[in-house]
Amino acid sequence: MLDFPHWIDFLIRAPTGFGSRIRIAWMRACGAKIGRPCRFEPIRYRYPDEIQTGHHVAICRGTVLYPHLGRAGKRRIIIGNHVFINFYCFIDAGERVEIGNNVLIGPYVYITDGDHGMDPSSMRITQPMSLAPVIIEDGVWIGARASILKGVKIGRNAVIGAGAVVTRSVEENDVAAGVPAKSIRKTHN
């Protein structure tokens, strides 16, 4: 394992946000489009030129932004303004994952727009990915350890319960929970 000299480690993890500014500057230099001011703790990402965030976005430690097909010039992960992504989330985009404004995402959330083919006549590893965009509209709150699967649209101001597995779209102002997630009530009367 490669260890940085402790003074470099301090600069990268500085509590003043200096480390965040360095990370964001590096991502921008690699092609990411990132609004201002944003705060990124140490995260992992691939193909930064396919990542775009709005203003006032905070992404916590351990989160992975993974546009996996690598077609330069096409933004696959799009995050709106005033978005908070908690610890150790994984956003996997083969086609497009779009997150609206004022969205809160709890820790360990998994969001993907694809899955593997299911043709029983051939090996799974040789089958092409099946892709459909994921859209999370404004004002959504996603609880810890929820999974949002391909082709799902989560409507404005919806709430996704902790541990839910969302396989179908959720209407605006719905509270959805369970495996698979189902609407259990509205966010207001």
Query: Which residues are known catalytic residues?
Result: 116
**Local structure of 116: helix, strand or coil:** strand
Q: How many residues does the chain have?
A: 189
Is the bond preceding residue 48 a cis peptide, omega within 30 degrees?
no
Give residue for tokens 């480390």.
Answer: 19
Q: How far apart (Å, rounded) are the C-alpha atoms in residues 100 and 81?
A: 7
* CB-CB contact of 129 with 167 (8 Å): no
Taken in order 21, 25, 26, 30, is the CA torsion positive or negative? Answer: positive
**Local structure of 125: helix, strand or coil:** helix
